[in-house]
Amino acid sequence: MAIRTKKKGIYCLEGPWNHNNIQDKSTVLPILDLLKKSANCDYIYHDCATKSELEYYLDKWKNKIINTKYPILYLAFHGEKGCIFLNHKDKYSLEELSTFLEGKCLSKVIYFGSCSTLNLEKRVVENFLEKTGAIAAIGYKNEINWIQSTVCDLFVFEALQNDKLDSKGIDKIHNIIVSHYGNLHKLLELTVVINNRQYFPRRRS
């Protein structure tokens, strides 16, 4: 059984989900509220639609006082291979992110709630982890359904509360995700990259 540890806050930055309708109110805030109410997991939330906004809030998170209390960086955006979309035309790549966060993510988890961002070669994600210092990168390798991925995000954040954010702890957390939450991680091709070890979901035969 996993040992309950100190609660790990979530620092969430979210982009617009419907670039053609500024009145669209889709948001991941409900799952953050649910985690806060049911698991006493605190969070900080900001919406971002430009590079300057994203980097402004990332810069705030780099503060050791903030990211110690909120060690899970949740990037909820549209995405494609190797990047996230800030709006309908502007992208922000993993390379840009690793440069901006270089050396500031020790024992932190970076979670990509976006389509296909981690559909990359193992060495590319490992280089990202090495440069930022993060203990793990978690995200999806393919196109994802909004409802299914939101549920998966919730499951992963719950699992992350169950052990330490080190290689052994993330290994145990990954096992919880695989064994306790059905086939959702397989369907969405959720991938967990831990330092120099990469875990892929077991595919259906």
On the question of pLDDT at 196 being above 70, the answer is no
Amino acid at 96: E
71: helix, coil or strand?
A: coil
d(CA 156, CA 111): 9
Domains and CATH numbers, the chain: 10-16+26-199 (3.40.50.1460)
Chain centroid offset of residue 115 CA: 12
The pLDDT of 31-35, averaged and rounded, is 95
Contact at 8 Å (CB) between 36 and 69? no
Asked if residue 150 has pLDDT above 80, the reply is yes
- Picking from 38, 48, 37, the residue whose alpha carbon sits closest to that of residue 73 is 48
Phi, psi of 165 (to 5 degrees): -90, 65
DSSP 12: E
Q: Which helix (H) or strand (E) holds 60?
A: helix 51-61
Q: How far apart are the first and last CA of the chain?
A: 29
Q: Tell me: pLDDT of 202 over 60.
A: no
Task: Check if the beta carbon of residue 48 is closer than 8 Å to that of residue 57.
Answer: yes
Cβ–Cβ contacts within 10 Å for residue 64, how many? Answer: 9
Q: Work out the pLDDT band at 167, boundaries 50, 70, 90.
A: confident
pLDDT at 192 > cutoff 50: yes
C-alpha pair distances (Å), 56 with each of 13, 49, 52, 59, 61: 11, 12, 6, 5, 9
Per-residue pLDDT reduced to its tens digit, 56-89: 999 999 999 999 999 999 999 999 999 999 998 8
Backbone dihedral angles phi then psi of residue 146, each to the nearest 5 degrees: -55, -55
Owner of token pair 């799952």: 31
5: its two tokens: 């540890």
Contact 95/127 with Cβ under 8 angstroms? Answer: no
